[in-house]
């Protein structure tokens, strides 16, 4: 933390020196607080979306409350300002000045002449890491020097190396910027630079602030907001508002159990930055997790809307003279319009009572005795702790589970509000302006273990087949753990660190912290399809599910010295509509995959697990489709089929089987018929060839006899086909009659069995 404060100080000095080079600072004052008033700051709530909630309490002996707000914060304050008079419950109005001249200050300042140049600014940034956008691409590195050059050829233009462009005065001036990137020096001409990005965020922040001071805007300009109150007597006020504030940053520590699985220690701290422009003295601090929506909206600048000019239209209007009329019946008098006094209704009793209840709650909160020692330090430059670490009795290391648990005393309670979880520190803290502090928010035992995790692609380049060493723990605390770094300790030493995603209460987290090169993981995948499952039958139409299937086998092996262990394999889903069948024991489902345990039960042996994923698609088949009979036969063979449904299905299946046999027989006869026709044609061709040969009488006689046999066989087959078609037609009619009243859904047991 001390290094960070020194870094910020050096950034501020560097930014100040740059501004003095460019043209100096127009104002010598420091930055104003975000909101300045006589009311004491009592509560601060920091969020993760760049805003902070501030609450002030106190008494005002006047008919108004003045709040001086920084110009860059006035819009946020106007969106959220709440004023409660706990003695009367009334705040009359809120007003502020509109000074067009002050709005133009920034623009006028930028137009004013100054000194300096980009070369001067870059030279003042020596040693700073920057990214230069040039005509030849981007260059990254630390600025080494900026040197002036005169009439020097451009080395990037080979054709012009010996030619120096000569302007009218015969001299061409430029600058050469040198950057250090690792062990390489790179140069670029200033005339080719069109963009500069500062890598140091603190330097950029301080530079922006110095520019604000130079222009007299942002945090260096104030707008006075006046809240009118009812009467000049004493008012007990509670004022709250939301303004921009740095997000709080979490950091965690996990101490692994000695046996690899069991009770782990989960500790958490929050890094809080106070850049509000005022000290936070003895405030109640809350840190909220979640992602509430926040945005900027200009409520201070007047905006006008163009309208049509209808002046002439109003002048040209003329009323038509009308003759008065009378009636015989006297009409009732029109009711009198209520006066303003009559419309001034008293405030509801609930409104008057609300501030009193609020005041009582506040008094109770003030009188509440703290239950534990402070959780955060008073303007500490390091971690705020309440209990000093126990001194080591011997030179041996004492960084173990118990020592680390005793070293941190977190005192925070969880609170839920509109889906957000907050750490409410039980003790008040003090954070001076311009300082950061760490407050302990978590010190709990959780279920944890050390294991291995393999992700597709391995643990990086050179570790494609190796898994990570990971710590797994279940967040059994009531808090949501925001994304942040986690340091991992095992035994009495640091073993690695990782970066966590958001971990909700009751959610398990898996955190890689090292690579295990001794374990090798491999996989083999095969693809298949066309498995079918009957869903329902409606009048001879079968609705079926077809499945595309992916089978993946994961294998794990390691040296004997590793013993028995388990690797969690992160298996990605084959597709959004694929489902895992027969899940291995211990499988966990992820949004886009699964965590599958692969166990090596014996040292030196290989462990494996096979995963089958399939995706269904629904289609329809006719009862006459060749695949329909197999589905019906499988359905009848199911033991879970009811007796009533079986009686309905068996005649259908029997008729369909008989029709299938007839179709098979007809198909065979037709093949014979085609073969006979082919042989008969060949015989006719042979007879035609020996027609005029007197010596071929015996052969002609033989061929004619063969042709007669072919003709007789063909006639016989034709009669058989006709007979079979007649039988098929009868059975088809009978089957269609049965199907007219057949409508049912396949049993669920069949669906599950088919899916397997």
Instruction: For residues 655 and 734, give the distance between their C-alpha atoms in angstroms, rounded to a whole number.
Output: 8
Supply the pTM of this predicted model: 0.56
- Indicate whether 599 and 677 sit together in one domain: no
Residue with tokens 């209460």: 505
Specify the pLDDT at position 452: 92
pLDDT of the residue at 131: 93
Give the model's pLDDT for residue 500. 84
Q: How many CA atoms lie within 13 A of 207 on its CB side?
A: 18
- H or E element at residue 442: strand 436-454
Whether the CB-CB separation of 650 and 681 falls below 8 Å is answered with no
> Does residue 284 lie in a domain region?
no
Q: What is the greatest pairwise CA distance in the chain?
A: 147
pLDDT for residue 144: 93
Whether 359 maps to a domain, the answer reads: no
User: Which pair of tokens denotes residue 111?
Assistant: 């137009």
Place of tokens 């460019």: 22
Q: CB of 489 within 8 A of CB of 497?
A: no
Question: How far apart are alpha carbons 164 and 166 in whole angstroms?
Answer: 6
Q: Are residues 236 and 97 in the same domain?
A: yes
Please indicate, yes or no, if residue 436 is contained in any of the structural domains: yes
The residue assigned the tokens 């502090």 is 437
Does 151 reside within a domain? yes
In a domain, 316, yes or no: no
One domain, residues 33 and 66:
yes
Shared domain for 650 and 742, answered yes or no, is yes
Residue 302 lies in a domain: no
| Burial (CB count within 10 angstroms: exposed 0-12, middle 13-18, buried 19+), residue 142 | middle
DSSP-derived secondary structure for 116-175: --HHHHHHHTTT-EEEEEETTEEEEEEEEEEEEEES---TT-GGGTT-----TTS--EEE
Same domain, 549 and 602: yes
| The predicted structure's pLDDT at residue 31 | 62
How would you class 308 by CB atoms within 10 Å of its CB: exposed for 0-12, middle for 13-18, buried for 19 or more? exposed
pLDDT (0 to 100) of residue 93: 59
**Which residue range forms the structural domain that includes residue 647?**
624-756
Residues 111 and 258 in one domain: no
* Count of domains for the chain: 5
Q: Quick check: 241 and 77 in contact, CB under 8 A?
A: yes
298 belongs to a structural domain: no
**Series of mean pLDDT values for 10-residue runs along the chain (756 residues):** 44 51 46 75 90 89 82 79 76 57 43 65 87 92 92 70 53 90 91 90 73 58 77 82 89 84 87 88 87 75 71 58 46 42 38 41 44 40 41 50 58 63 82 87 87 88 90 86 88 84 85 90 84 78 81 92 90 86 88 90 89 82 81 78 81 87 90 88 86 81 86 88 90 85 69 41
Q: Please check whether residues 589 and 525 belong to one and the same domain.
A: yes
64 CB-side CA count, 13 A: 12
User: 3-class SS at 614?
Assistant: strand
Q: How far is Cα 70 from Cα 222, in angstroms, rounded to an integer?
A: 4
- Predicted pLDDT at 283: 92
């Amino acid at each position: 933390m001390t290094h960070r404060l020194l870094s910020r100080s050096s950034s501020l000095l560097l930014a100040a020196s740059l501004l003095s080079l460019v043209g100096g600072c127009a104002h010598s004052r420091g930055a104003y607080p975000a909101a300045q008033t006589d009311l004491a700051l009592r509560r601060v709530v920091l969020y993760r979306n760049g805003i902070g909630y501030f609450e002030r309490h106190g008494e005002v002996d006047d008919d108004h409350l003045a709040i001086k707000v920084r110009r860059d914060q006035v819009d946020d304050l106007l969106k959220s300002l709440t004023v409660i008079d706990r003695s009367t419950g009334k705040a009359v109005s809120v007003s502020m000045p509109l000074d067009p001249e002050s709005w133009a200050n920034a623009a006028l300042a930028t137009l004013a002449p100054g000194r300096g140049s980009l070369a001067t600014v870059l030279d003042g940034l020596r040693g700073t890491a920057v990214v230069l956008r040039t005509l030849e691409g981007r260059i990254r590195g630390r600025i080494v020097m900026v040197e002036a050059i005169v009439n020097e050829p451009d080395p990037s233009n080979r054709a012009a190396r010996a030619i120096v462009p000569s302007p009218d005065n015969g001299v061409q001036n430029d600058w050469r910027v040198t950057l250090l990137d690792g062990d390489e020096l790179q140069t670029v001409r200033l005339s080719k630079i069109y963009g500069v990005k500062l890598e140091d965020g603190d330097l950029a922040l301080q530079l922006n602030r110095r520019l604000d001071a130079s222009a007299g805007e942002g945090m260096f300009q104030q707008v006075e907001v006046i809240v009118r109150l009812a009467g000049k007597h004493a008012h007990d006020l509670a004022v709250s508002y939301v303004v921009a504030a740095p997000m709080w940053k979490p950091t965690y520590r996990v101490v692994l159990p000695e046996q690899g699985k069991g009770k782990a220690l989960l500790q958490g701290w929050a890094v809080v930055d106070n850049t509000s422009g005022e000290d936070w003295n003895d405030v109640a601090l809350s840190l909220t997790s979640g992602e509430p929506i926040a945005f900027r909206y200009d409520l201070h600048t007047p905006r006008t809307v163009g309208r049509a000019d209808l002046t002439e239209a109003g002048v040209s209007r003329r009323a038509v003279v009308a003759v008065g009329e009378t009636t015989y019946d006297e009409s009732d008098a029109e009711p009198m319009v209520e006066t303003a006094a009559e419309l001034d209704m008293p405030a509801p009793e609930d409104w008057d009572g609300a501030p009193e209840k609020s005041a009582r709650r506040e008094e109770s909160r003030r009188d509440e005795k703290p239950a534990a020692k402070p959780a955060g330090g008073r303007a500490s430059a390091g971690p705020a702790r309440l209990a000093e670490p126990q001194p080591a009795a011997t030179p041996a290391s004492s960084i173990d589970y118990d020592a680390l648990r005793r070293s941190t005393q977190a005192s925070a309670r969880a609170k839920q509000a509109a889906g957000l979880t907050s750490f409410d520190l039980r003790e008040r803290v003090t954070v001076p302006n311009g300082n950061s502090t760490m407050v302990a928010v978590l010190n709990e035992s959780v279920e944890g273990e050390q294991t291995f995790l393999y992700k597709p692609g391995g643990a990086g380049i050179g570790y494609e087949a190796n898994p990570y060493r990971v710590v797994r723990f279940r967040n059994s605390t009531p808090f949501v753990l925001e994304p942040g770094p986690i340091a991992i300790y095992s035994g009495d030493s640091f073993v690695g660190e990782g970066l966590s995603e958001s971990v909700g209460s009751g959610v398990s987290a898996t955190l890689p912290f090292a690579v295990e090169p001794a374990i090798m993981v491999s996989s083999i995948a095969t693809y298949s399809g066309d498995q079918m499952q009957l869903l329902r039958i409606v009048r001879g139409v079968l609705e079926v599910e077809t499945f595309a299937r992916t089978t993946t086998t994961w294998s794990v092996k390691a040296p004997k010295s590793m013993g028995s262990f388990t690797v969690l394999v992160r298996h990605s889903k084959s597709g959004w509509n694929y489902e895992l069948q027969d899940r291995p024991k211990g499988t966990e489902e992820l949004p886009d995959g699964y965590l599958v345990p692969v166990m090596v039960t014996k040292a030196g042996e290989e462990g494996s697990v096979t995963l089958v994923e399939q995706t269904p698609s629904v289609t329809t088949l006719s009862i006459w489709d060749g695949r329909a009979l197999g589905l019906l036969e499988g359905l009848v063979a199911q033991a879970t089929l009811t007796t009533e449904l079986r009686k309905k299905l068996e005649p259908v299946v029997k008729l369909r089987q008989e029709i299938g046999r007839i179709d098979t027989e007809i198909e065979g006869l037709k093949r014979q018929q085609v073969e006979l026709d082919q042989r008969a044609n060949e015989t006719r061709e042979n007879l035609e060839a020996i027609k005029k040969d007197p010596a071929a009488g015996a052969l002609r006689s033989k061929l004619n006899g063969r042709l007669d046999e072919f003709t007789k066989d063909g006639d016989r087959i034709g009669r058989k086909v006709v007979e079979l078609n007649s039988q098929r037609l009868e059975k088809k009619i009978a089957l269609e009659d049965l199907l007219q009243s057949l409508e049912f859904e396949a049993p669920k047991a069949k669906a599950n069995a088919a899916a397997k």
